[in-house]
Amino acid sequence: MVSLALFLTGCPKPTIPPLDPMPIEKTIRLVNDNLRGAQTGLRARGRVTADFTDPDGTRHRQFLDGTLLIIPPNHVRFDMTVLGKTQILLGSNPDTFWFYLRPDDGTMRWGHHDRVQSSTPAGMPIRPDMIIEALGLSRLDPDTTGPNGPVQRIEAEYQQLVYLEHDEAGQGYIEREYWIERVPDGRTRRIVFRDRIGQVVMQSLLDDYRPLFANGPALPTTVTIDWPLERSGLTFHIRRWELEPRLNIDAATFVLPEYPNMICIDDQAAQR
CB 184 within 8 A of CB 19: yes
* pTM score: 0.86
Q: Give the mean pLDDT of 184-207.
A: 92
CB 3 within 8 A of CB 234: yes
Q: Give the mean pLDDT of 124-143.
A: 84
CB 225 within 8 A of CB 201: no
CATH number, domain at 249?
2.50.20.10
> Burial level of 75, CB count in 10 A (0-12/13-18/19+)?
buried
Q: Give the mean pLDDT of 212-227.
A: 93
Q: How many domains does the chain contain in total?
A: 1
For residue 229, give the DSSP letter.
Answer: G
Domain of 13, in residue numbers: 4-271
Separation of alpha carbons 256 and 23, rounded Å: 42
146: pLDDT strictly greater than 70: yes
Residue that wins the pLDDT comparison between 129 and 249: 249
Tell me whether strands 218-227 and 200-211 are parallel, antiparallel or unpaired: antiparallel
Confidence grade of residue 269 (pLDDT, cut at 50, 70, 90): very low
Task: Encode pLDDT of 37-51 as tens digits.
Answer: 888 899 999 999 998
Mean pLDDT of the chain: 86
Positive/negative CA dihedral, 76, 176, 4, 188: positive
Residue-level pLDDT at 2: 43
Cα–Cα nearest to 189, from 200, 178, 175: 178
Task: Encode pLDDT of 65-123 as tens digits.
Answer: 999 999 998 899 999 999 999 998 999 999 999 988 887 777 888 988 887 665 555 55
